[in-house]
Structure 1
C-alpha cells in the first residue's frame, strides 16, 4: 500500500490502524515463506458497518442489508398497497420490515436509504409522486429515522437508484438510460459514469412523456402518458388479465411501440448508446427487447444503433443500490 500510494510505511500503518479500529478493514494472516518480513493482507471488513436499503413502492415494501463489500446479507419483500395511504403508515411498515431484516443480517447498520417512485428534491423531500398522491411534500428521512432507532436516512428516486445499481454491480456502461417499468414508469440517466438528476431532481420522468395525445387521462393531470399505455395496470387492463405472464402478443406489441416512441425522443436528446430495460420490462423476455430496439431503429436519427438489453439485476436493483449508497458514503468519508 505504501508503494501504491507514495506514502511512508509509518503513515500507512497509522491510517490502517485507524481503519481497523473503526471496523472498516480486516487484517488477514500473513503469507509465510517469502523473503523478508511478511506483509499482512487487508480487506474490507465483511462484519463491519452495513447499509440498510428500503423500498416503498405503490404495491409493496422491501428491505435489504449489504455489507461493506456490497454483498447482500439479508433481503425481504412483502405486498402492501399504498395508493391512498398516508405516508406514515407505509413508513411504519417499511421500518418494521427494515429492523427485522437488519436483525436477520447480524450486522451493525450505519444508516439507511429509502427508494420511492417519485421525484425527490435535493433536500430529500418528495416533490411529486403521481401514483402516491398523498406523498407530495413528504420529508421521509425525519419521519423514518426515529422508527429506525435514530439511524440517518436519505431518500432517492427508485429509477435513479436502479440505474446506479447497473453501474455499480453489473459493470454497466458509463452512458445509459435505465427504464423502470411497474405501475409507474421511471427512468434513470447515467452520463459520464454519473447519475444525471437535472436541476431539481426531476430528470427521468419518462412515464409522463405523452405517446398518445388523445389517450386516457393520467394521474399526473395529462392525457396519453406512457404509463397509461405501457405501465403494469394499463397492460393488465388491456389484456383483461391479472397476471403479467398471461399478456398476449398484441398487448406486448403495443407496449413496445409506445415505449419505443418515448425512448426514441430521450435517445435523440441525450445521445446515449444503451437502453436498459428494468422492472416488468426485463421479465418480458428477448422478443420484447428486440421489438423495442426495432422501434428505436425507426426513430433515432443520429445513431447507427442503440443497444437494448434487460437489467442484469432484475427487480432488486434499486433496493440493493439504496443499501449500497450508505456503505459507499461510509467508505468515502470514514
Structure 2
C-alpha cells in the first residue's frame, strides 16, 4: 500500500519503501497477531509474495517467529501463524521525578518485563548524582531483561521540566533546580534515544494505551509536585517551536499572586500543585503526599476537601483558556489527579461550565494509567521506534 507524497515530501527510495513496508508488517503482527502471511497481506494491502519476503527478513532479524500451522477454519491450505519473537527488543523507560527515580522495560507486546524504583527527594540535588543513581537502576533493569534473553533497544527519559526540541538538554526544571543539563553527559548506560517532558510522555502513553478508541484531540494534564500539560492534535503531539508547549503549571491564574520558582507570579502551580494543596490543607509533605491527601479526603477531612476544591477551581480557570484556544475533544487528568479526581472534578467542571461554550465543552476523563503514564510513555516511545523502523533494530 503506497501513499501519494505531498508537495513538500520527497518521494521514498526503494530502500525507504521497504523499510516502511517492514514496519507495516511488524505493526500488524504486534497489534493483531498471531496472523498468517495471507492475513497480514490482507491487512496491510500488499501482495502475498511481497509480505512473504518481508516476513522472512523480520524472522532473520529476530523480530518475528513462526508458531506452526494456523487452524483458521477458512477454505484452503492453512498458513503458518506469525508472532512477535519472545526474545526480541524491549524499550527502556526512565523517569526522573521530584521524589523518585523509576526505570522499566516493556516488550513489543506492551508487557512490563522488569522495573526498579528508588524513593527519595531529588529537589535541589545536582544532576550528576541523581543521574548516576538512575544509571544504576538502568543497569539493574537491563541486566534483568538480558537474563531473560531480551535485547534492550534504547532508553527514553521523562523529566519534570522543559527539554529543548531534538536534544537531550533539560533547559529548566524548576522543581529539581536544574538548568541546562545535558542528560547524555551523565547517562552513559546504553543508547539514549530521547529525553522529554514528563507530561508529553504521559500524553503519548494516553494516546497509545489509554483506551479503545483513544481520543485523537485532547489536553493531558499531569499533577505531581508541579503541573504539566501536553496537547495532542489529530493524534500528534504539539511540541511548539522550541519544544516547550504545554507549560500549564506556569499559566498565571491570579497575576498578582505569590511568586513562583519559574520567575512569574500567581502561576497555577501555586494554587493546584501538590505542595500548594498540602499547604492549604495545613499538612506537611511526607514520602507519599498524594496518598495522604486521598486518605484524608476520603475520611471527610474538611480542610483537605476545601483545599482540593480550591485547586480544582484554579485548574478549571487555566484549562478554560486552553479549551477556548484549542477546542479539544477531551481533557484527560493524569498523575496525582487520577487519585484526587473525586474531590477536584466538581469545582473544575464548574469553572469550565462558567467559562466555555457548551457546544465546545470537552469531555473530562481520568487516565487509567495514573502516575505511571510518563514512565510507560517513555518505554513505549522506544517500542514504537522499533515498530516504526524494524530494520534498525534487528540482530
TM-score, length-scaled by structure 2: 0.79
Q: Secondary structure at the residue paired with 1:136?
A: strand
Q: Which residue among 250, 267, 292 is the counterpart of 1:208?
A: 250
1:90 is aligned to 130
CA distance in structure 2 between the aligned counterparts of 1:125 and 1:309, rounded to whole angstroms: 32
Q: Which moved more, 1:99-108 or 1:89-98?
A: 99-108
Map 1:42-53 → 2, pairs under 5 A: 42-53=82-93
Map 1:27-66 → 2, pairs under 5 A: 27-31=66-70, 36-66=76-106
Contact residue 108 and residue 383 of structure 2 kept, 8 A: yes
**Distance change (3 Å), C-alpha of 1:257 and 1:153:** same
Map 1:124-143 → 2, pairs under 5 A: 124-133=168-177, 135-143=178-186
Q: Confirm whether residue 244 of structure 1 aligns to residue 293 of structure 2.
A: yes
Q: CA deviation at 1:312?
A: 1.5
Q: CA deviation at 1:141?
A: 2.7
Give the aligned CA root-mean-square deviation in angstroms.
1.8
2:118 is aligned to 78
Contact residue 27 and residue 43 of structure 1 kept, 8 A: yes
What does the per-residue CA deviation read over 1:123-177, in whole Å, with 9 as the maximum and x for residues that have no partner? Answer: 23112211122x2211113431x2x1x3233101100010111110113200100
Q: Secondary structure at the residue paired with 1:298?
A: helix
CA distance in structure 1 between the aligned counterparts of 2:180 and 2:53, rounded to whole angstroms: 46
Map 1:106-145 → 2, pairs under 5 A: 106=148, 107-122=150-165, 123-133=167-177, 135-144=178-187
**Distance change (3 Å), C-alpha of 1:5 and 1:210:** closer
Map 1:224-263 → 2, pairs under 5 A: 224-242=266-284, 243-245=292-294, 246=296, 248-263=304-319
Contact residue 158 and residue 198 of structure 2 kept, 8 A: yes
**Distance change (3 Å), C-alpha of 1:273 and 1:36:** closer
Q: CA deviation at 1:178?
A: 0.5
2:8 is aligned to none
Contact residue 66 and residue 82 of structure 2 kept, 8 A: yes
CA distance in structure 2 between the aligned counterparts of 1:226 and 1:13, rounded to whole angstroms: 55
2:35 is aligned to none
Q: CA deviation at 1:42?
A: 1.1
1:26 is aligned to 65
Q: Secondary structure at the residue paired with 2:181?
A: coil
Map 1:181-330 → 2, pairs under 5 A: 181-242=223-284, 243-245=292-294, 246=296, 248-301=304-357, 303-330=359-386
Q: CA deviation at 1:77?
A: 2.5
**Distance change (3 Å), C-alpha of 1:244 and 1:31:** same
CA distance in structure 2 between the aligned counterparts of 1:83 and 1:98, rounded to whole angstroms: 21
Q: Confirm whether residue 11 of structure 1 aligns to residue 53 of structure 2.
A: no
Q: Which moved more, 1:88-97 or 1:3-12?
A: 3-12
CA distance in structure 1 between the aligned counterparts of 2:109 and 2:361, rounded to whole angstroms: 35
Q: Secondary structure at the residue paired with 1:233?
A: helix
**Gap runs ≥5 in structure 1:** none
CA distance in structure 2 between the aligned counterparts of 1:213 and 1:2, rounded to whole angstroms: 58
Q: CA deviation at 1:304?
A: 4.5
Q: CA deviation at 1:14?
A: 2.2
CA distance in structure 1 between the aligned counterparts of 2:131 and 2:354, rounded to whole angstroms: 44
**Distance change (3 Å), C-alpha of 1:259 and 1:22:** same
**Distance change (3 Å), C-alpha of 1:331 and 1:304:** closer
**Gap runs ≥5 in structure 2:** 1-39, 285-291, 298-303, 391-395
Q: Secondary structure at the residue paired with 1:93?
A: helix
Q: Secondary structure at the residue paired with 1:110?
A: strand
Q: CA deviation at 1:214?
A: 2.5
Q: CA deviation at 1:316?
A: 0.3
Q: Which moved more, 1:107-116 or 1:287-296?
A: 287-296
Q: CA deviation at 1:30?
A: 0.7
CA distance in structure 2 between the aligned counterparts of 1:10 and 1:51, rounded to whole angstroms: 31
